[in-house]
């Protein structure tokens, strides 16, 4: 997973590299925000971490530039700010497409565990991606629908990553997922792979902003249909 980190402090950059690289992340750092923006399209970052304290005049431009090519699900934008960051600016940040904000007294106080937790609300960890052979779908549309057995609400979720044995999905209306817990099996799920709809049973493996699903069984040639859908995106 490619993390693009825009900041100036070398010590913080070193901390980020030491923490994330052994976990399987690829960290790309820029100390020039304009150069970082110019390379958004080429790098295709899977998460952008931007230090507002270093570049208070550039973060709005950066998030708008990112959103021209990548959605909030495709490339989450995380903003590191001082604790005195104005509330009015917080509202602007969310309107512009900032996914998360981490408040610190100073840059050295940035908790890398908190940062990783924010990332994992939008992306699976490299371990999960490797274990389930997940393929990021980017802006390509694929949905999965299932009935929540706790409140009988029909939940529609956008598929973010997919493989023949599982998926990472983001529900479009989180309120409809209330009561769902990790380990629950969902029968009669419908995976829309484009032209066709695949019926299957899934298990919820993890809930953390996004849902990690494991495919258990389906009807007829469901695995072939999923694989065909994946291949059509390559």
Beta-carbon count within 10 A of 46 CB: 21
Mean pLDDT of the region 120-141? 87
178-187 per-position pLDDT tens digit: 999 999 999 9
Q: Are 134 and 162 in contact (CB under 8 A)?
A: yes
26-77 per-position pLDDT tens digit: 999 999 999 999 999 999 999 999 999 999 999 999 999 999 999 998 999 9
Beta-carbon count within 10 A of 174 CB: 10
Asked whether the CA dihedral 16, 21, 25, 29 is positive or negative, the reply is positive
96-127 per-position pLDDT tens digit: 999 999 999 887 788 999 999 999 999 999 99
Q: How far is CA 92 from the centre of its chain?
A: 21
- pTM of the full predicted structure? 0.86
155-207 per-position pLDDT tens digit: 999 999 988 889 999 999 989 999 999 999 999 899 987 777 888 899 999 99
For residue 108, the SS3 value is helix
* Confidence at residue 23, expressed as pLDDT on a 0 to 100 scale: 95
Write the CA distances from 234 to 122, 204, 227, 231, integer angstroms.
Answer: 22, 27, 11, 5
Q: Are 27 and 3 in contact (CB under 8 A)?
A: yes
């Amino acid at each position: 997973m490619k993390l693009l980190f825009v900041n100036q402090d070398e010590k913080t950059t070193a901390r980020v590299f030491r923490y994330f690289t052994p976990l399987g992340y690829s960290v790309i750092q820029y100390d020039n925000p304009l150069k970082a923006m110019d390379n958004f399209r080429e790098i295709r970052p899977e998460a952008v971490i931007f230090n507002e304290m270093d570049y208070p005049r550039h973060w709005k431009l950066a998030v708008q530039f990112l959103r021209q090519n990548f959605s909030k699900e495709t490339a989450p934008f995380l903003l590191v700010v001082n604790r005195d960051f104005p509330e009015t600016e917080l509202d602007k940040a969310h309107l512009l497409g900032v996914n998360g904000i981490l408040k610190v007294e100073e840059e050295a106080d940035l908790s890398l565990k908190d940062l990783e937790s924010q990332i994992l609300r939008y992306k699976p960890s490299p371990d999960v991606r490797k274990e389930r052979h997940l393929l990021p779908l980017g802006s390509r549309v694929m949905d999965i629908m299932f009935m929540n057995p706790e409140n009988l609400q029909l939940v529609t979720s956008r598929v973010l990553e997919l493989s023949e044995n599982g998926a990472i999905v983001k529900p479009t209306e989180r309120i409809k997922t209330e009561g769902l817990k990790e380990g629950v099996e969902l029968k009669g799920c419908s995976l829309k792979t484009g032209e066709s709809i695949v019926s299957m049973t899934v298990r919820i493996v993890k809930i953390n902003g996004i849902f990690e699903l494991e495919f258990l069984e389906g009807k007829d040639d469901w695995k072939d249909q999923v694989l065909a859908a994946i291949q059509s995106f390559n």
